[in-house]
């Protein structure tokens, strides 16, 4: 929260003029769907900006990115989809960050968690819009992390046990944690992060991934997971990638930003 | 570059009013040292915003962060400094990104490169301010990267040979590459990235790291490296971390943003 006195001093103006200007900004932000500017009156009051996205802009973005995701040259041997270039574009990452921040704008979140490597840019972008720090869980912790807490988890089709760890000092007890990642294949990594949050006596709030494998058995799929895209199937022979919308739009309440 | 017509349409105003407003913004940005707004006249013209930082703000930031870097509880066993929490704060990352973007604002850069894991947030922030993509070099490439090009490099005190690799499709021939990283210990990783850039027939422009080990022999230190901080020595017994300014301020021309 920033007090009106801050703006009054910076712009050498009366608080009443600042108040009027903030009103103009509030209406503009509302019309453009870029976020909400809230003014709290009184001596301890001030102004808070919550960045967000409108349903219209999010829907358009999903439709634009879906077209790019189905480009045939994204098919990799083994039936994987190449996403690395998309998750390295600052503009795209900013919109993904704003979308996920919008989904959790009414939840209280203290920290964003992800696992190295490809979830990091998404975590950083979401954290930037929520104005909170992020933590990176690693499979290979380095000496520069200090002491860590580790958990074992079943990876892939549950036939391999792996380890992930997090620096002990990077997460406080009782912190409310939002998990993000680039891709959920079977859910093992997400489960690992949930156990890790539990080990730290922190609180799991939710998890949103950029894309998920649509073939996960609905019976075992973690219902706390939200995805923006679902990779339905990849026809390697005819070079067709079948992508559907995930449940992000259905699970997000945009009313605060409309 | 954004044309004046874009603003004229969005704000339903005459181009002359837009032009006047841009003039006000330009002067404000200049006074605040947040960046430069350049207007190119004529039919194909428009406006370009280059974010940057003033020398005053950069100097203040370095002094503030230096205080935090010397906190005694940052000392890790083995004489390392714990940096993970700092490089996970969105505000701090934004300023580091703006600082490095300022240093290279007059160079032509196509892509920012870093190596996983801790350099990623810095790369993303710099890329965001330069409005270009970033690429992540990995020590353990995954199947989802497609085919890669790898190099071997001497790590640590040159007594270990390691491998790093980059997805073939993530870097175009002839690209101009800026390298960033969190910490330079001996320079091995930086050398590895330089060879990798060479292998891709791309062009190395420079490298800036958040901190470097001040004990690197000046005779062998890569002169293309810029650092914001230098870790001079760590007195584990008395819990004193000795940090100095790196050569960032000396090597950066702030005149465009003052």
CATH number, position A191: 3.40.50.2020
Going by C-beta distance under 8 Å and a sequence separation of 6 or more, which residues neighbour residue A135? A111, A112, A113, A114, A166, A167, A170, A171, B88
Burial B20-53, CB ≥16 within 10 A → b, else e: eebeeebeebeeebbbbbeeeeeeeebbebbbbb
Phi/psi for B3 (5° steps) reads: -75, 155
A121 with A202, same domain: the answer is yes
Q: Cβ(A119)–Cβ(A182) under 8 Å?
A: yes
CA-based R_g, chain B, Å: 21
Residue A79, chain B, CB below 8 Å: the answer is no
Both tokens assigned to B227: 């650092």
- Residue B85 touches chain A, beta carbons under 8 Å: yes
Pairing verdict, β B225-235 and A225-235: unpaired
Q: Residue B27 maps to which CATH number?
A: 1.10.10.10
My answer on whether B41 and B72 are in the same domain is no
In this prediction, residue B39 carries a pLDDT of: 87
Distance from CA of A126 to the nearest CA of B (A): 9
User: What per-residue confidence (pLDDT) applies to B41?
Assistant: 83
Cα A3 to chain centroid distance, Å, stands at 29
Residue B17 above 80 pLDDT? yes
pLDDT at A157: 60
How sure is the predictor about B177, in pLDDT bands with cuts at 50, 70 and 90? very high
Q: Quote the pLDDT of residue B34.
A: 87
Report residue A46 as tokens: 């001030």
**Among the partner residues B78, B91, B146, nearest to A143 by beta-carbon distance:** B78
A46–chain B nearest CA distance, Å:
20
Q: State whether B16 and B93 are in the same domain.
A: no
Q: Are residues B162 and B222 in the same domain?
A: yes
Q: How far apart are CA B134 and CA B206, in angstroms?
A: 14
Q: Are residues A13 and A70 in the same domain?
A: no
pLDDT band for position B230 (cuts 50, 70, 90) = very high
> Contact at 8 Å (CB) between B162 and B152?
yes
Residues 6+ apart with CB under 8 A from B186: B155, B156, B157, B158, B213, B216
State the complex-level ipTM. Answer: 0.91
Query: In chain A, which residues have their Cβ closer than 8 Å to the Cβ of B84?
Result: 136, 144-145, 167, 170
Phi, psi angle pair for A227, to nearest 5°: -125, 150
Q: Do A144 and B85 touch (CB under 8 A)?
A: no
Nearest CA in chain B to A77: B146
Spatial contact of A88 and B136, defined as CB atoms under 8 Å apart: yes
Residue A75's φ and ψ, nearest 5 degrees, are -70, 125
- Which of B76, B135, B145 is the closest to A144 by Cβ? B76
3-state class of A46 per DSSP? strand
How many angstroms away from the CA of A144 is the closest CA of chain B? Answer: 6
Query: Could you tell me if A120 and A228 lie in one domain?
Result: yes
Identify the residue among B11, B120, B156 best suited for mutation to test binding to A, counting A beta carbons within 10 A and taking the highest: B120
d(CA A110, CA A131): 9
With an 8 Å Cβ cutoff, are A131 and B76 in contact? no
Chain B residues touching residue A120 (CB < 8 angstroms): 117, 120-121, 124
Instruction: List the single residue in A with minimal CA-CA distance to B79.
Output: A144
Same domain, B75 and B176: yes
Residue A158: which region, alpha, beta or left (left: phi > 0; alpha: psi -120 to 50)? Answer: left
Q: Do A36 and A85 fall into the same domain?
A: no
User: Which of B81, B127, B140 minimises the CB distance to A90?
Assistant: B127
Helix (H, G, I), strand (E, B) or coil at A78: coil
Of A84, A145, A183, the CB nearest to B145: A84
**What separation in angstroms does the CA of A17 have from each of A8, A21, A45, A123, B194?**
9, 6, 16, 38, 54
pLDDT given at position B140: 83
Residues in A closer than 8 angstroms to B32, CB to CB, are none
Q: DSSP per residue over A143-166, as a string? A: GGG-SEEEEEEEETTTTEEEEEEE
pLDDT of residue B80: 87
Nearest by CB to residue B146, choosing from A82, A124, A138, is A82
Cα–Cα distance between A183 and A230 in angstroms, integer?
A: 9
- Any alpha helices (H) in chain A, and if so which ranges? 4-10, 15-32, 55-69, 90-103, 120-130, 188-199, 248-251
CA distance A173 to A155: 26
Q: Among A14, A30, A50, identify where a domain stops.
A: A50
Which stretch of DSSP H or E encloses residue A230? strand A225-235
Q: Is residue B160 less than 8 Å (CB to CB) from chain A?
A: no
CA distances from A21 to A1, A16, A26, A114, B8 (A): 17, 9, 9, 39, 21
Give Dmax (Cα) for chain B.
Answer: 68
Q: Which of B164, B181, B171, B169 is nearest to B144 (CA)?
A: B169
From first to last of the 258 residues of chain A, give the pLDDT tens digit: 899 889 999 889 998 899 899 999 999 888 888 899 998 888 778 899 999 999 999 999 999 999 999 999 999 988 889 999 999 999 999 999 999 999 999 999 999 999 999 999 999 999 999 999 999 999 987 888 889 999 999 986 667 899 999 999 999 999 999 999 999 999 999 999 999 999 999 999 999 999 999 988 888 899 999 999 999 999 989 999 999 999 999 999 999 887
Mark whether B118 and B172 lie in a shared domain. yes
State the Cα–Cα distance between residues B90 and A1, nearest whole angstrom: 16
> Are residues A39 and A73 part of one domain?
no
Tokens of A174: 């009782």
Question: Do both A57 and A163 map to the same domain?
Answer: yes
Q: Give the nearest partner residue to B117 out of A124, A128, A136, using CB atoms.
A: A136
Tokens standing for residue A171: 């997460």
A216 CA to centre of own chain: 21
Q: Is B97 in the A-facing interface, judged by CB distances under 8 Å?
A: no
Residue B10 contacts A where some CB pair is shorter than 8 Å? no
Task: Sort B104 into a burial class: Cβ within 10 Å, 0-12 / 13-18 / 19+.
Answer: buried
Domain final residue pick, B50, B65, B81: B50
Domain carrying residue B35 = 4-50
Domain-terminating residue out of B12, B32, B50 = B50
- CB-CB under 8 Å, A127 with B90: yes
A116 contact B CB<8A = yes
Residue A229 near chain B (CB below 8 Å): no
Closest CA to A34 of A90, A102, A89: A102
Residue A153 near residue A160, CB atoms below 8 Å: no
Per the structure, how many domains does chain A have? 2
Give, to the nearest 10 degrees, the angle between helix A55-69 and helix A90-103. 130
The span from the CA of A118 to the CA of B145, in Å, is 10
Residue B156 has pLDDT above 80, yes or no: no
pLDDT value at position A208?
A: 98
Same domain, B100 and B21: no
């Amino acid at each position: 929260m920033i007090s009106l006195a801050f703006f009054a001093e910076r712009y050498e103006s009366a608080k009443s003029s600042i108040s009027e200007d903030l009103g103009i900004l509030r209406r503009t932000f509302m019309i453009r769907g870029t976020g909400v500017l809230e003014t709290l009156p009184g001596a301890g009051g001030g102004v808070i900006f919550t960045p967000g996205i409108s349903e219209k802009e999010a829907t358009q973005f999903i439709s634009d990115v879906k077209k790019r995701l189905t480009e045939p040259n994204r098919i990799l041997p083994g039936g994987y989809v190449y996403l690395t270039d998309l998750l390295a574009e600052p503009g795209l990452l900013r919109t993904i960050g704003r979308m996920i921040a919008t989904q959790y704008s009414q939840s209280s979140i203290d920290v964003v968690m992800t696992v190295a490597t490809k979830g990091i840019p998404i975590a950083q972008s979401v954290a930037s819009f929520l104005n909170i720090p992020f933590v990176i869980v690693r499979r290979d912790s380095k000496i520069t992390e200090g002491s860590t807490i580790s958990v074992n988890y079943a990876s892939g089709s549950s036939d391999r046990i792996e380890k992930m760890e997090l620096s002990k000092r990077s997460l406080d007890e009782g912190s409310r944690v939002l998990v993000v990642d680039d891709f959920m294949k079977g859910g093992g990594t997400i489960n690992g992060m949930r156990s890790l949050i539990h080990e730290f006596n922190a609180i799991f709030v939710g998890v949103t991934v950029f894309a998920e494998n649509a073939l996960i058995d609905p019976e075992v799929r973690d219902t706390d997971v939200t995805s923006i895209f679902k990779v339905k199937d990849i026809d390697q022979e005819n070079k067709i990638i079948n992508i559907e919308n995930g449940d992000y739009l259905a699970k997000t309440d945009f009313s605060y930003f409309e």
